[in-house]
Amino acid sequence: MAKTRTRLLVVDDSAVVRQAVAQAVAQASDIELVATAADPLFAMEKMRRNWPDVIILDIEMPRMDGLAFLRALMAERPTPVIICSSLAAAGSAMHAQALAAGACSVIGKPKLGVKAFLDDSSDDIVAAVRAAARANVGLLPGTSAGSGALAGADPSLAARQSLHTADVILAAGTAPILKTTDRVIAIGTSTGGTQALEAVLTSLPKTVPGIVVVQHMPERFTAMFAERLDSLAAIEGRGAGST
């Protein structure tokens, strides 16, 4: 039985970038570039005909920016997305926003010499696509498919896309069951898990036991992500130190 290839869509307004990414993944027999698009609206038209397994997405594009498209996608039909943008350098606010919106990973391409950078990063691009294809992404609690900006996609295509998500988040009681220092809760999340993690933590009261989170993301970004969780949740969030 032939091994299924990962279907890839590249969305970037630069023809140079689209070509460079196409050349990068051409070396991988397990990845099939099914389409490219110059902006998210063109991408949606092509996705209705052939839904991809993974999307490489720029941020700054005409007609619709990449983050708006990413949020609409994750709210309606979650699909692994790799952000590839000069605006999303590691440690930047845009990098944080992209991961918080549901991106599996972020590639910060330079403003100058982008083709040479992508050519030199071909192995990293292939590795990122393979990792994204294995990521578990899903609808967040309180959202439903089929009603947003991507409405109109062929339902038969949706049936092919397996969604993986935490189906239930237990509502916390108003009174503490045990002292918060008596127990520690450990949560591990992998690529693409930031949205689910936010949904879980923001549902918890201050009386919840201490929580230790291990999230797969670049080291320099963890402090920013901890600050974001701290601003959203009732519980206090901090990044772990080196000691």
60-113 pLDDT per residue, tens? 998 999 999 999 999 889 999 999 999 988 888 899 899 989 999 999 888 889
Query: What is residue 148's predicted lDDT score, i.e. its pLDDT?
Result: 57
**CB burial readout 62-77, b (16+ within 10 A) else e:** eebbbbebbbbbbbbb
Select the more confidently predicted residue: 230 or 9.
9
Q: Which domains does the chain have, with CATH numbers?
A: 6-158 (3.40.50.2300)
CA atoms in the 13 A half-sphere facing the CB of 164: 11
pTM summary value: 0.63
The predicted pLDDT at position 150 comes to 62
Amino acid at 99: L
pLDDT in tens, 210-231: 788 887 776 656 777 777 777 7
The pLDDT of residue 162? 37
Provide mean pLDDT across the span 146-170: 43
Q: What is the pLDDT of residue 211?
A: 82
Which is more confident, 165 or 228? 228
In whole angstroms, give the CA distance from residue 16 to residue 41: 19
E-strand ranges in the chain read 6-11, 31-37, 54-57, 81-85, 105-108, 184-189, 210-215
173 has a pLDDT exceeding 80: no
d(CA 201, CA 52) in angstroms, rounded, equals 30
pLDDT above 90 (res 154):
no
| pLDDT confidence of residue 153 | 46
Neighbouring CB atoms inside 10 A of 131's CB total 18
Residues 88 and 92: their CA atoms lie apart, in Å, by 6
| Euclidean distance between CA atoms 186 and 8, whole angstroms | 34
Tell me the residue ranges of DSSP E strands in 86-209.
105-108, 184-189
Beta bridge partners of residue 32, listed in sequence order: 7
CA 223 to chain centre: 18
Looking at residue 199, its pLDDT comes to 77
Q: What pLDDT band is residue 195 in, cutting at 50, 70 and 90?
A: confident
Residues in Cβ contact with 241 at an 8 Å cutoff, skipping those fewer than 6 apart: none
Tens of pLDDT, residue by residue over 113-131, are 988 999 999 999 999 999 9
